[in-house]
Amino acid sequence: MGCGNCGSGASGKPGGCKGNGGCSTGGCNRLNVYDWLNALPLYDGAKPYSLIEVSFNKGSRKEFFRNNTNYILEKGNWITVEGVGGIDVGQVSLTGELVKLQLKKAGVRESDVTKRVLHPSTEEELEVSCKNKGTEAEVLIRSRAIAKTLNLDMKLCEVEVQADGRKGTFFYTADHRVDFRELIRVFAGDFKMKIEMRQIGARQESGKVGGIGSCGRELCCSTWLTDFKSVNTTAARYQNLSINQTKLSGQCGRLKCCLNYELDTYMDALSVFPSHAESLETMSGIAHLQKKDIFKNLMWYSYHGNNKQYPLSIERVKEIMALNKEGKKADELHPVELEKRDAGGNVKADMGYVNDVGQISLRSLERGKKKKKRSSGSGQGKQPQGARPASGGAGKPNNQKGQQKQGRQKQGDRSNAPRPKTDGAAQQARPNQQNKPNQEKKTQQGGKQGASRPNKPRSNKPRPQAKGGPQKPPESGSASPNT
């Protein structure tokens, strides 16, 4: 969310803002405010508002100062102001009439602002400020190690060093009261500066650190949100959101502040729904309320022990409640028909028996996989029903099926054994005992084939002709060529 001047430079490195006072979108300056009255010209004899708003540490902290100088300051100017025991360097974030609104929002009276603006910052002051600001990361790491050594239950999240290096403000979070008197002594001896400890909440810590939310935009607490209101799970229940701590929590570990944004709209929509409608008495039993569809003005009910849910309109629920109040039971629920479209885009009617809570069931796919596994496991080595081997055909079974059939023959099952290929004369001579040696010889030559299949009566169907051309039927009394 940076401005156009924050793109990459010629060498691929971030270009950054070209001294234009920060981005108006808030991406380069935390808690930035767009001054939409900055281009308004002043009339003759008018003086600008004496109070200005100054941001420190890239917008992490903002304070109001009184401008009693003759300098006309604009947004983005670096100025030197009064600090604690010295001076501090900040950047003008807001001027003019909008400062009055910021004072009212922050609850600060104009008479309470006593700190003054000294002058625009010089090059030497900016160099000293940049040098002292560069030590903040090292000071933060060192301070965390000292706090851990003293076994203090606290978390140091940010350190802000004054421009002249005479004061350091340590921001920390803690669940309980912390006695850091010894910690301040150690800090003052190591860092050689005045120490100020300031406790903040988890939401303020997230705003100082910054980041990207689940919506894909910068965190509200680090861009524009300054006052934090309490958020509880009741706001999520009113909006029909599942109570999932992982999805409802922000980067600070607390419930997301955006749960309060649309709460008033949901409350107005829920005012139309009847109250005390948790159960309805019908002839089929007692229907219990499962959820409320605020967008469609529907109330979903289901019977005990039944997973089917029935969507009812608000008018129908009120009718059943009126009957129950008179001591009568409704005949049926009369659910609303919901229009759903199939794959072709055609509208089809659905009585709402599907569980419409956003959950997808994969049981049907799992059952299909189980059926495939059973069919593949039971079909090994077995011939499908209704299939018959070709009598006297020239074709051969494939190797896989042949091996499966051979395995069944070894177990003693001869019902599915393949019929040995013989010509017509051999088939006529099967009852004779003289053909048995020939059959045994064929099985030995065939390799792993088992015992021969029992004889079956020949069918009267004409035999198919071989590829070599028409063959003459064998003469009566002729012997097999193998004999």
Q: How confident is the model at residue 449 (pLDDT cuts 50, 70, 90)?
A: very low
> How much is the pLDDT for 387?
47
Share of the chain above pLDDT 90, in %: 33
Burial track 180-192 (b if 16+ CB lie within 10 A, e otherwise) = beebeebbeeebe
Q: Which residue type occupies 40?
A: L
User: In this predicted model, which residue has the larger pLDDT, 182 or 367?
Assistant: 182
Q: How far is C-alpha 432 from the geometric centre of its chain's CA atoms? A: 79
> How much is the pLDDT for 403?
52
Average pLDDT over residues 301-329: 91
Whether 125 has a pLDDT exceeding 90, the answer reads: yes
Strands, sheet with 51-56, edge to edge from the N-terminal-most edge strand: 61-66, 51-56, 87-94, 78-82, 117-120
| Choice among 217-231, 286-300, 368-382 with the minimum mean pLDDT | 368-382
Average pLDDT, rounded, for the chain: 75
Dump strand ranges (E) for 324-372.
338-341, 347-350
Nearest to 426 by CA among 460, 398, 391, 451: 391
Average pLDDT over residues 197-226: 88
- Hey, is 44 helix, strand or coil? coil
Residue ranges and CATH numbers for the domains of the chain are 31-121 (no CATH), 131-206 (3.30.300), 279-350 (no CATH)
CB 297 within 8 A of CB 248: no
Average pLDDT over residues 300-327: 91
User: In this predicted model, which residue has the larger pLDDT, 366 or 302?
Assistant: 302
- How many angstroms separate the CA atoms of 95 and 53, rounded? 7
- How many angstroms separate the CA atoms of 394 and 405, rounded? 19
Per-residue pLDDT tens for 387-446? 444 444 444 444 555 555 455 544 544 444 455 554 444 444 454 444 444 544 444 444
> How much is the pLDDT for 443?
46
Per-residue pLDDT tens for 51-96? 999 999 887 888 999 998 888 888 889 999 998 888 999 999 888 8
What helix, strand, coil percent values describe the chain, rounded to 5? Answer: 30, 20, 50
